[in-house]
Structure 1
Amino acid sequence: MALVPHGGAGGSAVPLSCPVLTGDNYTIWTIKVEANLDAQGLWEAVVPAEDAAAAVIAKKDKPARAYLLGGLAEDILLQVSSKKTAAEVWASLKARFVGADSVRAARLSTLRGDFDRFVMADGEALDVYAGKISGMAAKYASLGATLDDAEMVKKLLDTVPDDLYTAVAGIEQFCDVETVCFDEVLGRLKAFQERSTRRKVALGGERHGDQLLLTADQWEARRRQRGRDHAHDDDDGSSVASGARGRRGKCHNCGIRGHFARDCRQPRKEKALLVNVDNEALL
């Protein structure tokens, strides 16, 4: 990373940190370089304003050019070292990495295809996915195109997982998705996601709709507990607490509450009926 001193406010030397352009990071590099040069008042030497005085531009040109050259890899530096002004260096780099109109159109088409295929993966953090969408807007800008908030909001709302669709419905009902800010929509989704997470933790399980979904371990523990209760009833049916008897239904075999027909110790009604019929036939 290059450091280029320039006289800042009050004449003090302020070191400017410049990221190194390697060829694969042109979009990010231009964003950082423009911000740094603009903060030091040198940007108009790279892209002169219409009403800028020539003398002012000439005064700022040398430090701006030195800053740009200090942020280039050696192979790229050799190709632009013959450029005498900061504006020429910048234009040469832009022509190399952005290209002619036909190349620019092709790259923009590729970006649109990548943007259309964006889908939030299972388990992907909401901030990470939103960062991908915001990063695409910066890539559009580097090619002279614009990815506005309405497109970004639509992409975000259309591709979030099912557990966020409740929040999506609320946003679409109470907000104008054509004018709402992307950051505002992201904030609403994050707030809903955090609230849902707290609710799941409080309930001790996961919710789907209005039903509580128990984990596999919880289901196994419940099954074992029911098995122990059933074994206890079979070993000593007479000692079952009155509260437990009250919770069981009425036996359809003997008519006594406290156990089910399958656990009844009395003779089955169907068998008793057959015995009576046989006795009548013998008589």
Structure 2
Amino acid sequence: MKAILGAHGLWNVVETRYEEPANEGALSVAELAALQKRRSGDQSALSIIHQGLDDEMFEKIANESKAKDAWDILKISVVGVDKVKKVRLQTLRAEFESLLIEKNESILDYFTRVLVVVNQMKRLGEKLTDVRVA
């Protein structure tokens, strides 16, 4: 999702929070234009985030109106706290080390299973070399 937001030039919108002004009437024309651009970018980013979620994850952020707030909730939900992350990584390491091709399993199916585990490990911060994977 980070790549999609970056490709649309919206990753900076997700990284930084903005506050709505207390009195829009006191803003200059340039400030109003900048605020409108920021709101539009924020809503575009939020829309992209919504499109990339399944129903369960969407429910967690359905009431959020800003992309930064939704992203922060998703980060906590997906990655979790460090302790949960470490336990999950240990489980994945054990699974990776014990991966064997099943009898009657195609090479493609086996390779797909390996890639799924490797990608999950990388998302959690594990550094894997191609040599280790092969």
TM range (shorter): 0.5 to 0.7
Equivalent position to 2:11, from 12, 20, 43? 43
CA, structure 1 residues 78+118, in 2 after alignment: closer, same or farther (shift >3 Å)?
Answer: closer
User: Does residue 69 of structure 2 align to residue 88 of structure 1?
Assistant: yes
Structure 1 residue 74: Cα displacement: 5.0
Alpha carbon RMSD of aligned pairs, Å? 2.7
Structure 1 residue 145: Cα displacement: 2.2
Q: Could you say which residue in structure 1 is the equivalent of 2:48? A: 67
Greater RCO, CA 8 A, separation 6+:
2
Number of residue pairs matched?
Answer: 115
Equivalent position to 2:102, from 121, 126, 132? 121
Work out whether residues 137 and 146 of structure 1, in 8 Å CA contact, stay in contact via their aligned partners in 2. no
Gaps of 5+ in 1: 1-32, 49-54, 154-283
- Aligned pairs for 1:249-268 (under 5 A) are none
CA, structure 1 residues 70+126, in 2 after alignment: closer, same or farther (shift >3 Å)?
Answer: closer
- Aligned pairs for 1:210-249 (under 5 A) are none
Work out whether residues 96 and 118 of structure 2, in 8 Å CA contact, stay in contact via their aligned partners in 1. no
Structure holding more helix per residue = 2
Gaps of 5+ in 2: 17-33
CA, structure 1 residues 128+75, in 2 after alignment: closer, same or farther (shift >3 Å)?
Answer: closer
TM-score, normalised to structure 1's length? 0.35
Structure 1 residue 119: Cα displacement: 0.5
User: Does residue 97 of structure 2 align to residue 112 of structure 1?
Assistant: no
Structure 1 residue 150: Cα displacement: 2.1
Residue identity (%): 28
Larger radius of gyration: 1
